[in-house]
Amino acid sequence: MHDLLGGELWQLTVNGLVRGAFYAALGAGLALVIGVTARFHFAYTLTYTVAPYAAFWVMDGLGAPFWPSALAGLAAAVAVSVLLEAGVYEPVARRAADRAMLAVLVTSIGVSTAGIALLQLRFGTSSLPFYGPDVVQHRFGPVRISDFELEQTATCLVLVAGLAAFLAFTPIGRSVKAVRSNPGLAAVLGIGVRRVNLVCFAVAGLISGACALWYGLLYTVQPSMGDSTVVYGFVVAFLAGTRSSPLRALPVGVGLGLLEQWASNWLPLQWTQTAVFIVLTAYLAFLAVKGRLPRPRLARPAPLRKA
């Protein structure tokens, strides 16, 4: 009990903060796509997985150093994300008309499954030896943390803050916000909706690729690496709001990370994800009930009588 309230709790808290920043970045990128383009981008899993595999291919097959290989992995994730929108989602949505969201969802599941299968055919189903710079462990009292975890956390925070600044202070960012608010009116005002959609997918691909590269360095690279991880991105996107500031993803992601880590003290490992989805279900149920509750009406002040 003393360990639980002491060193172990501090370690779990730090782990939760690291994982929370990771979930926040994934959720911010996914929320951008869903909120602006209305595409339920399930193939986010594919763009996430492609980055470390492309980096591994450049590093192992071409003999390139790690950091140029990592840049190649990021470029591959961005390219796949943009190609999905331009070559798959947009034509499907145009043909499906009013059923576009469902059609894109089904298509994205199929594309993601097929893409992961191709990676398995090319690289196999086992884990890859994904090596980068030497990892250094640091100890702060009862807490252990690696420089990879510190750098991953800093990267995720910079990605979320950079996305918020991009939307707030750049012309294309303001165009993204206009399309997110009202695509029809934005098109009438001369904003290229298609170009904005491609920018959103490029940004989401960059974020997912960066997160996946750090995940591969910290843990392992395998075809199923995005299956459970990206699901947390969806949870963060829906809890933080797909039409709100990316900065809202930070407290939501950190909260989920802490919940996951703290729950592992009292629940079996397979139940920690269940705890996260219970929170999501409860939130969605609250929104459903909240919309049906009658709103209190403020009493109007009585008119003043003339003396």
Domains, the chain: 2-129+142-291 (1.10.3470)
pTM of the full structure: 0.89
CB 42 within 8 A of CB 109: yes
Label residue 14 by pLDDT band (50, 70, 90).
very high
Q: Is the pLDDT of residue 240 over 60?
A: yes
Q: Is the pLDDT of residue 270 over 70?
A: no
Cα–Cα nearest to 252, from 270, 272, 273, 276 = 276
C-alpha to C-alpha distances, 259 to 137, 243, 275, 306, nearest whole angstrom? 25, 24, 8, 62
Label residue 300 by pLDDT band (50, 70, 90).
low
Residue listed under structure tokens 């591969």: 216
Cα–Cα nearest to 29, from 178, 162, 123, 118 = 162
Q: Is the pLDDT of residue 176 over 80?
A: yes
Average pLDDT over every residue of 290-301: 63
Q: Is the pLDDT of residue 204 over 80?
A: yes
Label residue 285 by pLDDT band (50, 70, 90).
confident
Label residue 129 by pLDDT band (50, 70, 90).
confident
Average pLDDT over every residue of 296-301: 60
Output the average pLDDT for the chain.
88
Label residue 1 by pLDDT band (50, 70, 90).
very low
Q: 33-74: per-residue pLDDT in tens?
A: 999 999 999 999 999 999 999 999 999 888 899 999 999 999
Average pLDDT over every residue of 199-216: 96
Beta-carbon count within 10 A of 217 CB: 23
Task: Indicate the range of 6-20, 84-98, 108-122 predicted with least confidence.
Answer: 6-20
At 231 the pLDDT is 86
At 197 the pLDDT is 96
Residues pairing with 146 in the sheet: 137
Q: Is the pLDDT of residue 273 over 90?
A: no
At 305 the pLDDT is 58
Label residue 135 by pLDDT band (50, 70, 90).
confident
